[in-house]
Structure 1
Amino acid sequence: MRYAVFNQSERGSFQVWRGVLAGASASLVGIGLARFAYTPLLPAIIGAHWFPASTAAYLGAANLGGYLAGALAAGVLARHARAATVLRAMMVLATVAFIACAFPVSFLWFFVWRFLSGISGGALMVLAAPTIIAHVAPSRRGFASGAIFTGIGLGIAASGTIVPLLLRHGLTETWLGLAIVSLLLTVVAWNGWPSQDAPASAHVNEPRHAKAPSPPALRALFVEYALNAVGLVPHMIFLVDFVARGLGKGVDAGAQYWVLYGLGAIAGPLLAGHLADRAGFGPALRVAYLLQLIAVAIPAVTSNTSLLMVSSVLVGAFTPGIVPLVLGRVNELLAHHPAAQKGAWSNATTGFAVLQALAAYGMSFLFSSSGGDYRLLFGIGAGALAVALTVDLFAALRSK
């Protein structure tokens, strides 16, 4: 059966939305839960003496390292099997990783399974949206992309609400509960993937191995996006622990800030797209860098509750919201080289994943060696965003 597009029958349109639901479920499992559920779990893991604070943060970084490996491996996997098969396998892997993490056999055991969950997330992030979008009518691809990336925010919000409830029953039960949620979403997505990897028309007149040109603005964009990854790491890994232990407010209070982060992430992709439609992708990116810079700097300079809430929402919004902005800017810069856009986006995504993983490991080391100095980490994140904004402004001036 041909996979339908929006301008076909109601039945076909329903099948497209099954695909969008599958894509949202994949991003929810692979990123929203597999990565972000660890943040509200971190204080509980330390409190239950599963692992000491000096090593527990490295387990969060393990997922980001796996994400890089998964992003790099996704294309290879897709060349040896249908995208739908790979996507199903990755969602199953994420579910199995949740089950394995319910049993802290050893640090190495936990590290390996957190790394494998990162691999599933990286592969799902790279493959899910393109697999679905290729079968959606061009006039609705922006909206469909936003819906798919919103799955990340839904996962973050879910982790902030479900995790505290599950923790009342125990840490092992929490991991198993997340496994059940992941399994249910895997079942929901199972038959939603297209029966073909892409319509034949998607590749008409497109060179098989197009190489992206590298104008200065594009190279600058790669640098900015990678630096943006560094800016996001302190909130992604340490926000809940900062509130719970750093400020002494407890796990439940930390989870509430994580819910705010998740609510921001739900709305972020749609709001970022709307901003780009109104102002253009270049100006929208500068606004995004500036707002993130301010938001990440807030925990470094103040413990004011209201400001920390604003910080959580803004950084949450741009965690997935920066993705459509950079993707749109890549396509804009390569408007006359459409066949090169996919390769350029792959380069941008890889750079983001590399800096994100390095920042996670580096900040985990600094956190341990500094005796738990949270403000240092937020200061580094803000500095990275300041450099990203500076690079973008210089690139804009040079292009005039």
Structure 2
Amino acid sequence: MRYAVSDSPEGGTFQVWRGVLAGASASLVGIGLARFAYTPLLPAIIGAHWFPASTAAYLGAANLGGYLAGALTGGVLARHFRAATILRAMMLLATLAFVACALPVSFLWFFVWRFLSGISGGALMVLAAPTIIAHVAPSRRGFASGAIFTGIGLGIAASGTIVPLLLRQGLTQTWIGLAAVSLVLTGVAWNGWPSQDAPAPAHAGAHAHAKAPTPPALHALFAEYALNAAGLVPHMIFLVDFVARGLGKGVDAGAEYWVLYGLGAIAGPLLSGHLADRAGFGPALRVAYLLQLAAVAIPAITSNPALLIVSSVVVGAFTPGIVPLVLGRVNELLAHHPAAQKRAWSTATTSFAVLQALAAYGLSFLFSNSGGNYPLLFAIGAAALAIALAVDLFAALRSK
């Protein structure tokens, strides 16, 4: 699969499949492993007395704070350095952070490296897909972006299968093993990035300085996306610990639910895109909010294994699956203002990262000060999604 571009020195061609593989590897390392591998590691870190439960949860939140910083600085870095250089550096930073976390020197040491791994993930999420998609034929961009975001689900599933196996060798060995996997994927992606950044379209200058109107529905969408981020946090950080320690089933059982979460995440972007093609982005978003609301509420009201499986798969599916839905809705609302779409997507991504980080720190505080009240965390996540759905419905009624 090739798509010709004028700025490639290798005969003017860019191998799309290699670019997609590089993008998927980047999302797998930066999000799938750097963020989500910590979830199945949390009970083991507490059990090994590296950190007490009251502070270990904050280390998961540190990654989300770093993600916000990376999302904000990724665009700034791209204005001064080639995207390929930044992407390679961020994958190496994620790898180095895994090595550093193998040494529990102190809480501050661990917090800093978890924060740095979050920075790498945020920058990779902001830059990897656009860098590849800019060189892909328009007719293939949907497939390419779906494949790139599927890397998140592959990383989640991999963390749920690899981590329990590595933990049998020890906690330090587990972090080193994750570093080795990250290093291999960095090598796979190294030469897959375009040789040069794509030039801006010829017509972009005509719109670059035009002030596009901001529909009220777009402001509502920013709020909904941020609330959706808060709704995902309880599963992101506490799912495995809830099963392993809260229900007393152990680390291996918790990891099994995390694998289910990852399997859902693999299929999520493709299924949500198919839903949007059939129903439209607006209706598809409402369905997504409703399904997530029900799934996040399940651990707050029951410990039934079958229902917890459903909860894990559904929330896992929408962790990456909500991204193409919101991106498509942004483009839909600003269909006649292409230059404004990129700015609006940046605002949406930042709002997601901000409330995700705030929710992570806030829920970690509640967890440590409520005696480990897991149902409370999931109830708050469900409430955030209920508000997101209400905002969307109100915006839809207002626009009629």
- The TM-score normalised by the length of structure 1 is 0.96
**CA deviation digits over 1:85-130, x for unaligned, max 9?**
0000000000000000000000000000000000000000000000
Counterpart amino acid of 2:296? Answer: V
Looking at structure 1, the residues matched to 183 and 4 of structure 2 have their Cα atoms a distance apart, in angstroms, of 26
Give 1:209 deviation, angstroms. 4.8
**Correspondence for 2:8:** none
Kept after mapping to 2: 8 A contact 1:135/1:199: no
| 2:36 corresponds to 1:36 | yes
Counterpart amino acid of 2:143? Answer: F
Kept after mapping to 1: 8 A contact 2:257/2:312: yes
Looking at structure 2, the residues matched to 368 and 123 of structure 1 have their Cα atoms a distance apart, in angstroms, of 30
Looking at structure 2, the residues matched to 258 and 4 of structure 1 have their Cα atoms a distance apart, in angstroms, of 40
| 2:371 corresponds to 1:361 | no
Give 1:3 deviation, angstroms. 6.7
**Correspondence for 1:236:** 236
**Sequence identity percentage:** 89
Looking at structure 2, the residues matched to 306 and 13 of structure 1 have their Cα atoms a distance apart, in angstroms, of 50
Q: How many residues align?
A: 394
Give 1:215 deviation, angstroms. 1.2
Matches within 5 A, 1:356-395: 356-395=356-395
- The alignment partner of 2:35 has SS state of coil
Taking a change above 3 Å as real, the CA distance of residues 210 and 156 of structure 1, as seen in their structure-2 partners, is farther
Give 1:169 deviation, angstroms. 0.0
Counterpart amino acid of 1:221? Answer: L
Taking a change above 3 Å as real, the CA distance of residues 22 and 304 of structure 1, as seen in their structure-2 partners, is same
Give 1:205 deviation, angstroms. 4.1
Kept after mapping to 1: 8 A contact 2:207/2:337: no
Counterpart amino acid of 1:77? Answer: L
Looking at structure 2, the residues matched to 227 and 59 of structure 1 have their Cα atoms a distance apart, in angstroms, of 22
Taking a change above 3 Å as real, the CA distance of residues 130 and 392 of structure 1, as seen in their structure-2 partners, is same
Looking at structure 2, the residues matched to 103 and 206 of structure 1 have their Cα atoms a distance apart, in angstroms, of 53
Give 1:212 deviation, angstroms. 4.7
**Correspondence for 1:298:** 298
**CA deviation digits over 1:48-77, x for unaligned, max 9?**
000000000000000000000000000110
**Correspondence for 1:322:** 322
Give 1:199 deviation, angstroms. 3.9
**Correspondence for 1:8:** none
Give 1:318 deviation, angstroms. 0.1
- The alignment partner of 1:27 has SS state of helix
Looking at structure 1, the residues matched to 12 and 320 of structure 2 have their Cα atoms a distance apart, in angstroms, of 29
Kept after mapping to 1: 8 A contact 2:90/2:120: yes
RMSD: 1.4
Is there any run of 5+ residues in structure 2 with no aligned partner, and where? 6-10
**CA deviation digits over 1:4-37, x for unaligned, max 9?**
37xxxxx988711100000000000000000000
Give 1:208 deviation, angstroms. 3.7
**CA deviation digits over 1:309-364, x for unaligned, max 9?**
00000000000000000000000000011110000000000000000000000000
Give 1:207 deviation, angstroms. 3.5
Looking at structure 1, the residues matched to 50 and 77 of structure 2 have their Cα atoms a distance apart, in angstroms, of 34
Looking at structure 2, the residues matched to 397 and 225 of structure 1 have their Cα atoms a distance apart, in angstroms, of 18
Looking at structure 1, the residues matched to 85 and 202 of structure 2 have their Cα atoms a distance apart, in angstroms, of 20
Looking at structure 2, the residues matched to 211 and 229 of structure 1 have their Cα atoms a distance apart, in angstroms, of 29
Give 1:203 deviation, angstroms. 6.0
- The alignment partner of 1:328 has SS state of helix
Kept after mapping to 1: 8 A contact 2:65/2:118: yes
**CA deviation digits over 1:234-271, x for unaligned, max 9?**
00000000000000000000000000000000000000
Looking at structure 2, the residues matched to 301 and 324 of structure 1 have their Cα atoms a distance apart, in angstroms, of 30
Kept after mapping to 1: 8 A contact 2:334/2:340: yes
Matches within 5 A, 1:1-400: 4=4, 15-201=15-201, 204-209=204-209, 211-400=211-400
Taking a change above 3 Å as real, the CA distance of residues 339 and 41 of structure 1, as seen in their structure-2 partners, is same
Taking a change above 3 Å as real, the CA distance of residues 206 and 146 of structure 1, as seen in their structure-2 partners, is farther
Is there any run of 5+ residues in structure 1 with no aligned partner, and where? 6-10
Kept after mapping to 1: 8 A contact 2:3/2:13: no
Kept after mapping to 1: 8 A contact 2:285/2:326: yes
Looking at structure 2, the residues matched to 66 and 285 of structure 1 have their Cα atoms a distance apart, in angstroms, of 27
Counterpart amino acid of 2:341? Answer: Q
Kept after mapping to 2: 8 A contact 1:231/1:381: yes
Taking a change above 3 Å as real, the CA distance of residues 94 and 373 of structure 1, as seen in their structure-2 partners, is same
